[in-house]
Amino acid sequence: MYAIIETGGKQYKVSLKQSVAVEDLGKKPGEIIELDKVLFFADGEKFVVGTPYIKNAKVIAKVTEQDKARKIIVFKTKRKKNYRRKAGHRQSYSRLLIQDIKAA
């Protein structure tokens, strides 16, 4: 059994007991959240496709971690003009543990 959900402008394929890192949700570790933007649900031979979302379908997940990804370096330069800019960026993310998938 798996589902495809949308959160933070991205789509993720999730199944039961799976851990997935998504965009920062602003929740504290230990909180339970319901993700109701379910695009696709499959259970063995039965599957449901949303238009664009499946009504009354939701994925129950527990926030296990709030952290930042590893740093990426943003370096800009222009040849022969002595123009150099260096900056770093760390994207925040929430790690979710999928506990239940409910479909209508």
Give the per-residue pLDDT at 99.
Answer: 96
Two tokens, residue 23: 């965009």
Cα distance between residue 41 and residue 20, in whole Å = 17
Say whether pLDDT at 104 is over 80.
no
Give the tens place of pLDDT for each residue, 25-75: 999 999 999 999 999 999 988 889 999 999 999 999 999 999 999 999 999
pLDDT on residue 56: 92
Q: Quick check: 38 and 58 in contact, CB under 8 A?
A: yes
DSSP assignments along 68-91, one per residue: EPPPEEEEEEETTTTEEEEEEE--
pLDDT (0 to 100) of residue 9: 93
pTM of the model as a whole:
0.83
- Quote the mean pLDDT of the chain: 95
What is the predicted pLDDT for the residue at 44? Answer: 86
Confidence at residue 103, expressed as pLDDT on a 0 to 100 scale: 85
